[in-house]
Structure 1
């Protein structure tokens, strides 16, 4: 997986009174001190090193019968010589998706069969990693696989496999480049870093260099960089050090040392003078960027620079947001971030200019605000709010043992970059030691230097470098000798899922509370859920609900937007809203010591929105800008068109699932419209509260009752959703939506199924995993892994209370659009007729689903989602614990019968978002009617 640097957006602050009404004064919440939160961040570990140089870090966590296995290599794109950009990432793909010498089918099938979760690989400037979380009983097998990837890979690498992964990576590049503002990163790196600097090029590399990669190049890359002495192996979870030493020595001990990779020296470059660049893209809004190169994660100023960026544009109460978005309303979005790497970091701002504003004036205002902040620095309260936010984020991130953020990641990064798996302690301590003066000093040192200022304006893109149409056939090098190992060990006795016990209570006004306990970290997750969703949006005023939800945290009767944001930050909380097809929720995530003030804030936001005129106009402008942006991205364009094609525009599911709505309607919405929607739908007699916490329900119920128990329903009738009895007859065809200059096409194939989320879909979901859902599905293996035409595709059901849609999503290179649709048509036709589930597919799917259950609920967020879906789809509380036996009882015939009963491939309609000039002739060969539309 490509992991690109974050180049995100920003907005500055006036005093609250400058842009908000004057609500009644509210005493700020009193959170627990950040130092107390920091003490809860503890990842005890032990380390040892094998004779071959492999460094191993072990952390024991017995909360679930799973172990995270992560291998981190001291090599990234900064280590690539000129002419070989993208090699580190390309080799990550080869290591992740291709066979090894003793696993001729590759690692993906056995990983799925053992029930691995959170498995992937990533590459960035400084490192490459491979990771998976596996059931404890499968640890030995996982270590065999990981060691085969490290020490027994090259003999299985051939030209065909290299070419396949080259195609996949080039489509990953196209997919990223095809997004709005997708080419900015290249301009930033090439301008900020001089030629020859290790960070001068992007991790994804250039098409030409990827074209030129030879089999011998990749072999040598592995020899130079993937030896055990260049790696860190972390085991975190249900394992102890004694077991780890025995197993790691057994499987990794015989791998020979490799070359020593010394990380390339990389100074922090300074531009000789400010650089202004203007790029063009098919975007809705002009975006302004400001970027500096600054020190990296091991520097003493790292925490100060992060605090500076976060105060400036990383908080809901940020300086830029308050000045440009809430203040003079010259922008619709703005952010700032500090992205630390091993050798250096990037300090970045971006601002989306509000349509109709003077771009030059906004740009000058941005520079003035930044310069003023550099001179004045943050307040003590701002520093404290960032510190509280970072502490809470770290606690949340450590809930899983592995994945992208968990305990294994923190330990691996510390060991790889600092030689200390406990380096996180020094990082957290640095936040506690930061002061307004230290932040101001760091900014004066690094942000007073010349900046790169990029403006991306709407218009036709600059020329795009594509891959070569053909490559000369290389002379294959001689095959390598293979030294067979002992067979891969089997899997031990698996533990069944023990889902948390579900408890229920009622508040004094009748609101039901659905609760489960999760004690991994001191966190509480709360969802106040309403029977609404996108389906509840008024058909003649689409976008009403989205605007209501966006305004909830913009002001109540006693708090304005900045007060809400600042209080939330002091608590280290996350406050969010979302709307699926059938349900709407207001969510709170908070460290449990701050739960009482967090619930008080949540209740105020849910119950007492002010809908002030100035807030309404500001959020209206942002929603309209978001609609315009949705109309410029491939997924947004397709997502706006598809629901109406499937269900008809009048159906509650026939509107864009994003909920952003119709711009004409959003422009006319009044405060009365929003208040009426809130009273119809967001009310106590339409609500249920879901809670997952490390605190017992008996302790939580009085807190919930104090905030929500006296909430009375309004006199107006409760909202009712009306679904028609019949849907439009399916009309198989291709709807081509023209998006010029697209190096990829987004294919969406869809049909409305004769089932809903309330139906028993266990057999169907198992069958669909074979054909459409997941890396090993037939459509992904065919189009991605065999042909190399896509970075990845899937077909899956979107569960809904009423008839649910089945959607295939397939981004493919533009010149393979027609062929890809034909492959998809053929795959589904064969699967649903004479080429159903095989015995091997059935065994892999059943084993994978059963064995992955214990690892599927590591986090409180996962448990909360499980509670919510159980209630929504009328499942019993023990539903998840019943799945194992039900999967084990499935036969290939039962899986085939379910798929053939539910999917009719003749009902598919195909929506294609791409460059009509190049794509339409391909589609006309498929024998389906082709309708061409312009993006809405």
Structure 2
């Protein structure tokens, strides 16, 4: 009997997110039975898709607010998601960036809840809370304990109906600065100008999608208080919004509570969507730009219909088979076959009404650009002419549906059921539109996909070439090509009569005539503590310990094998070995080459990933529970029998060298590569945390060296097995025995890592890495703590949360919310098995670099001095950490991660259940004591990545010695 499934995210998101796989690991190879091909015929797929459901009901208040309710009782949580039908496409001339700016302002408090909205949300233990803006809509979302639903609905309704009295000039000025720094932060990244190039070259002037959502600096700077207030009046009425409640709530309760909190808000003017067409370029065009990137990237782009078009799903299928699968046409031809590119992809820049079909390829060093362009165009032309094969299409469908199911557990957040329902209701007037998309996917044939591809990808295209070099222009003067306002009345001037859908709305039943008491926030009701799943244990015949937790909300099983290796398994003269070993394992086994390995996963609807951190090398399988046996066979073949073929190694070597080069172009990654060795010295953690290693080492590694590393570290007596999902311990052990039971440890002793290395004495200073033309500076700071991951560090983590570890922390509220110099600044405890670190990261506008370092000093020294933890901070920290526990472990993946941590750090099985009492008994004095012992400002070493011409003159006043060096490009 197939389990009834409730679905989650959009078909497009699944197509993009479900098809990438990584792989690694093994020791003493033993033969493994060939992986059986799964039957993924149309009938089986259709049956699986038919089980993917999100039961929901919809009702509409007299003021026009549409509410969608989905009941999911698996946890005492409710996802609240409010979507407004306003995005950057609605912005008139001179007001670009207003939709996104208002997203920020709506977090800064309302008339009856003045102050930052993150405060009451954190107090109730909200998880996954944020807001986003795109071209078509703005949304706000949070997942909260069921007992806090009234408080959250009061907050959401207050900023919908009672906001403007709380919007002040001071708040506006501050958030303009924050958004401008968000723009600088995006512009400062490699490929940071891509967003401007896409919209400005694909969509003509005057088109609603021609300008970026972030907007222009001038339009933001010129926004007046009355401008933004009128923007709110025009766009944020209840009749222009969709509210979704998903989780531990029923329709009757939802009707009562939504009417109570939202019913008195008056209806607003109707928002009139601008007319949006799919543009057509007059002729092919090409543009070449320079950027701080590691290698040349070639883009091919075509205007295509948006998500509301019936062509959308066939285009998704085309994009997935062309360059979205691990076994895609482009990968096989250009990366694995002709070895012209280090990576390829196809994807869609999707909007509601129109989008962009994108194909990209990164040039392999030493290859002529023209050769890759010719080969790329040949593959695209062949795909347009032939379309996908039936097998490619079947694998795409299976991968998409499997990814769909993986997201089912989450009720909210950036994805989840609430997103799917809201998107369907807002864009299609049908919360269940995901069913239409899935049915279209099942019905898609090679012929139908080919026809849609020929219809749109034979039109003129835009080619963008991004080459390494100094930028010829930044983003400061871009983003503001506006929509002309030809009406003289603004875009949203029209209004229509009130309408209530009789199928979902009973005006008499739902009528609310008076505003509710908003003089104080509603109390939070009785809370349900976390019930962490029981951890069951077993031992395989080869001695591997198995840890199991049952979660049956979806028909998926996740298996993770964790080996005591990681990047610290590399000696100092072999940095990058583990990473290259993992990459090479992704290229196939003794019996399967890279393409065959990818195809095997896609046919099963499974994914195999290999990854590492400083302490561990892990391999993870996510599989449909009905296909667990063949999926485990594939995992076993992958871990135990890597091929390490010479040709494959050359290919992944080029990719890793390119990633190392790319790290040096990214301001944060480049700074971290310099900072970590400065503070850790010769300790095993004193290496770049990415694990990519040294170029010289990677260049010289051989298949024999990778095989030796594999044999040394990936062995059954050095690993543990973790299983979470829709199975039983008995079944899991039986299947693991069949795949891994005969895997025996070699006779050689277990390898060991030496952590008894002295940490260098702190030498407080600033190292400035010159990165010319950077609109922002990245400030990184660090010191090593006399604490280890196996210690009880709960109080230390709580202290950091107050100082810099949350949105409401002192560091972030100062540099972002008070000064407006940064989009985000933080401190954190770098957590590993051995010595912990204290780290600071602040990305600030370049002309405020020195001032920001002084503010960091003020916050840290004040916190450990006379300005300790306040009663309000203590209450927020305790309440937030206790109340968010059920939300932290909503999904199987989060349970798996928690189980791994319990074992890694030697915690008791009920650790996450008892930690609530640890927080409840915590005092401000304990937190301050932990801060004084660990957050020692005079020990902090800074690395600043920025434009030395702008930044160096500011450093003198910090009082810290400094040196300037060129960024190693």
With structure 1 as the length reference, what TM-score do the two structures score?
0.95
Contact 1:313–1:321 at 8 Å: present in 2 too?
yes
Q: Distance in 1 between matches of 2:92 and 2:127?
A: 35
Residue deviations 1:761-780, cap 9 Å, x none? 11111111111101000000
State the Cα deviation string for residues 725-749 of structure 1 (Å, max 9, x = none): 3111110000111111111111111
Greater Cα offset, 660-669 or 587-596 = 587-596
Q: What residue is the counterpart of 1:126 in the other structure?
A: 136
What is the CA-CA distance between 1:467 and the residue it aligns to?
A: 7.6
Give the one of 219, 228, 248 matched to 2:229: 219
User: Which residue of 406, 415, 419 maps to 1:409?
Assistant: 419
1:823 correspondence with 2:851: no
1:68–1:196 distance in 2 versus 1, CA, 3 Å: same
Please report how far the alpha carbon of residue 302 of structure 1 lies from its aligned counterpart in structure 2 after TM superposition: 1.4
Task: Return the offset for 1:31.
Answer: 4.9
Shift of residue 485, structure 1, vs aligned partner = 3.2
| Cα distance in 2 between the residues matched to 1:34 and 1:661 | 43
Q: Does 1:846 align with 2:894?
A: no
Q: State the distance in 1 between where 2:339 and 2:347 align.
A: 21
Which residues of 2 match residues 43-54 of structure 1 at below 5 A? 43-54=54-65
Residues 762-773 of structure 1: matches in 2 within 5 Å?
A: 762-773=794-805
How far apart are 1:483 and its partner, in Å?
Answer: 11
Following superposition of structure 1 onto structure 2, how do residues 700-849 of structure 1 map, counting pairs within 5 Å?
700-849=732-881
Report what 1:878 is aligned to.
910
Whole-angstrom distance in 2 between the partners of 1:717 and 1:932:
47
State which of 335, 350, 375 in structure 2 corresponds to 1:325: 335
Q: How does 1:152-551 map to 2 (within 5 A)?
A: 152-466=162-476, 485-551=518-584
SS at match of 2:536: strand
Q: How does 1:670-685 map to 2 (within 5 A)?
A: 670-685=702-717
Measure, in 2, the Cα distance between the counterparts of 1:798 and 1:574: 29
- Counterpart Cα distance in 1 of 2:180 and 2:843: 12
**Greater shift in the superposed pair: 537-546 or 235-244:** 537-546
Three-state SS of the structure 2 residue aligned to 1:501 is coil
Match of 2:602 among 540, 544, 569: 569
> Which residue does the alignment assign to 2:642?
609
Residue 465 (structure 1) shift = 4.7
How far the C-alpha of 1:39 sits from its partner, in A, is: 3.0
Match in the other structure for 1:30: 38
Aligned residue number for residue 926 of structure 2: 894
The CA deviation at 1:396 is 1.4
Distance of 1:621 and 1:28 partners within structure 2? 33
2:897 paired with 1:865: yes
CA distance in 1, matches of 2:871, 2:124: 17
* Deviation readout 1:332-372 (Å, 9 max, x if unpaired): 01100124321122211111101111112211221111011
- TM superposition shift of 1:301: 1.8
Q: Is 1:111 matched with 2:121?
A: yes
Shift of 1:262: 2.2
* Cα deviations by residue, 1:137-180 (Å, 9 ceiling, x for unpaired): 00011100000010111110011101111111111111111111
Q: Distance in 2 between matches of 1:29 and 1:505?
A: 30
Q: What whole-Å deviation, never above 9, does each CA across 1:453-478 have from its counterpart, x for those lacking one?
A: 0001111102225389xxxxxxxxxx
Match 1:654 to one of 678, 686, 711: 686
1:79 is aligned to: 90
Contact kept? 2:683, 2:758, Cα under 8 Å: no
Query: In structure 2, how many angstroms separate the alpha carbons of the residues matched to 1:547 and 1:670?
Result: 10
CA distance in 1, matches of 2:305, 2:465: 25
- Asked whether the 8 Å contact 2:537–2:547 carries over to 1, the reply is yes
Provide, for residues 18-43 of structure 1, a one-character-per-residue CA deviation record: whole Å limited to 9, x for no partner: xxxxx999554215632233133211
- The runs of 5 or more residues in structure 1 that have no matched partner are 13-22, 469-481
C-alpha displacement at 1:313, in angstroms? 0.8
> Which structure has the higher relative contact order (CA within 8 Å, separation 6+)?
2
- Report the equivalent of 1:629: 662
Report the counterpart of residue 66 of structure 2 in structure 1.
55
Kindly state the Cα deviation for residue 543 of structure 1 after the two structures are TM-superposed: 0.4
Matching residue of 2:498: none
1:677-720 deviation line (CA, Å, top 9, x unaligned)? 00110111101011111211112111111111111112333221
Cα deviation, 1:55-94, whole Å, max 9, x if unaligned, reads 0000000000000000001111111112111110000011
Q: What is the CA distance between 1:211 and its match in structure 2?
A: 1.2
- The structural deviation recorded for 1:781 is 0.3
The SS at the match of 1:804 is strand
> What is the aligned counterpart of 2:676 among 643, 646, 659?
643
In 1, are the aligned partners of 2:187 and 2:474 still within 8 Å (CA)?
no
Q: What is the count of residue pairs matched by the alignment?
A: 906
Aligned counterparts of 1:37 and 1:718: Cα–Cα separation in 2: 45
Q: Distance in 2 between matches of 1:483 and 1:403?
A: 28
Contact 2:35 2:634 in 1 (8 A): no
2:606 matches 1:598: no
Q: Within 2, Cα distance between the matches of 1:487 and 1:803?
A: 45
**1:243-296 residue CA offsets vs partner (Å, 9 max, x unmatched):** 000000000000000111122211100101001100111211001011111111
How far apart, CA to CA, are the structure 1 residues paired with 2:902 and 2:756?
25
Match of 2:620 among 587, 604, 626: 587
**Residues 527 and 449 from structure 1, CA distance in 2 versus in 1: closer, same or farther, beyond 3 angstroms?**
same
**SS of corresponding position for 1:166:** helix
Tell whether the 8 Å contact from 1:26 to 1:559 is kept in structure 2 after alignment.
no
Q: 1:24 to 1:699 in 2, by over 3 A?
A: closer
SS of equivalent to 2:579:
helix
CA distance, structure 1, for counterparts of residue 436 and residue 715 of structure 2: 46
Cα distance change of structure 1 residues 572 and 339 upon mapping to structure 2, 3 Å threshold: farther
Q: Deviations over 1:386-415 (max 9, x none)?
A: 101111111112211000110111100010
Question: Counterpart of 1:656 in 2: which secondary structure?
Answer: coil
Contact 1:102/1:484 (<8 A) preserved: no
Distance 1:262 1:571, change over 3 A: farther
Give the superposed CA RMSD: 1.9
* Structure 1 residue 910: Cα displacement: 0.5
Asked if 1 retains the 8 angstrom alpha-carbon contact of 2:566 and 2:612, the reply is yes
Q: Could you tell me how far apart the structure 1 residues matched to 2:703 and 2:475 are?
A: 49
The runs of 5 or more residues in structure 2 that have no matched partner are: 1-11, 21-30, 479-514
Shift of 1:935: 1.9
